[in-house]
Structure 1
């Protein structure tokens, strides 16, 4: 706290800087760096040209970054001297809070090399951090020996970490076309039941399990290719029972003869 003369008279409790405060600090630091470069007059260029930054990493049309645990789009944009908007646009990212460990991101420079700052409409509160997704260990486990022509339970090993809101089984035919989906909204589920008699004709299929976060696929297992058993054999349709002839009605009907019904079919000539 400062007094009316600008002197420090007390200190508040220390706290982590918010994402918005970090961005403002970066902006001020970068602007001061450019002013100092201009005053120094090495070659008249600023430190931000060409996408260079203090870490020596450079953005550009061929630059990429492999996501590791703890990465965020904001941290990556600072590291390469670009913007979150440029990363989102170049990688078709739907939710900027979700990136996957091992994911390879294109790292373009922002349009016009503008300062790497993001407008945050709802800045995170102190202590908040984007959910981390770790797909390690995520794999489909059963079935692996074939599909029945009917209900089957799909099993999987869950991912190591993530704020998931469900899982989905995708089933593909031999042409790679999606023909069936079986979904659960349980974030802790490790199995779901599907009916393999409802996915159309054919014998060869493949399945995979997908982890969902905010309704968006964030982890996908390897596909398992299996054969489906043949549908149950259908017997011949039941024969319609023909009405039996009535002896004594004065008509010699099919199935009647004189021996069976002399009254109707006897020769009285």
Structure 2
């Protein structure tokens, strides 16, 4: 998925408040200099943040730092069903301006948001109560709500789960030509997830040797080529298991797994359960835990 540089404007307002009502989330992967708080009120699919790909469902709540690439993409099983989201975008200048010295205490939160933060537990419950009332509020009262939301984030830092292992692989620090090569490979993986994907084919795509490609991909994405493909396929499989009644073996093939044994092993590494137990259990989308280099076969 290519990363688009988005220029966010909110003339006459301290921050941008958006409420989306769509038939699907189809946004392309993009970045901007503003921090972004996104609440998925209704919907399900895959959430792309930096080098991370995870399943999401309703009430997903995420804070992203400046320049972190991101996108939410709806699951095919939910095509045509209502999708709702509330998005707040605000400049880091709000935190560091001299006129509001109290805001300076949030500088650590801005740095942590460079890893992407999934908001859970007590923080999410308190913040959703504020977010639900914001559409009916005046612009001045919405500003007060934003400050309250930031205060809740600072108060409940134990409820903030970093999405990326470190900010290096999400904040856009790589050179433009390196970014273009990464984008080309990630787009190719997402478009051909159900097919056999090899290091040799990926290396040919960006005109380098397989050995050079493996080093490049691990350095810039923060995980091996094999691990990333397994992340994408297992995240997609977890959604299809929850949102459809198709046989597990069919879903495995649709997501690019050639054998059930390999599917079961990779899925268990990431979710702690087998695909069948995941479907039967009362499971919510879980974090995809990258296990590192898992062997020569991509998935």
Q: TM-score range by the shorter chain?
A: under 0.3
Higher relative contact order (CA 8 A, sep 6+): 2
Q: Which has the higher helix share?
A: 2
TM-score by length of 1: 0.22
